[in-house]
Amino acid sequence: MSTTYDQLVAILTKLHDAPTDRISPEATFAGLDVDSLTMVEISMRIERDLGVPVGDNELQEDLTLDATARLIDSKLAQ
């Protein structure tokens, strides 16, 4: 079973063509050049695929992928 981080990376790579060598837990959405429309698509895909609603105010461009995975995990635990 994959981790939340792995699932997030899978969502990100489906929706955004960031080079895989730039994707890491410390990478931010801004650092990966993810635009605002793609951020909305990622949020929608997280809700669809992982069953966790993530609001626009929660998914910010300066958030790291690790912090995003932890946010999702905390919502899953509720």
Domain interval for residue 70: 4-76
Residue 2 pLDDT grade (very low, low, confident, very high; cuts 50, 70, 90):
low
User: Of 43, 54, 44, 45, nearest to 76 (Cα)?
Assistant: 54
Residue bearing tokens 């994707």? 23
Please tell me the least confidently modeled range out of 8-12, 56-60, 61-65, 66-70.
Answer: 56-60
Per-residue pLDDT of 14-57, as tens digits, reads 999 888 899 999 999 999 999 999 999 999 999 999 999 998 88
Number of domains in the chain: 1
User: Of 14, 15, 38, 12, nearest to 24 (Cα)?
Assistant: 12
What CATH number did the domain enclosing 33 receive?
1.10.1200.10
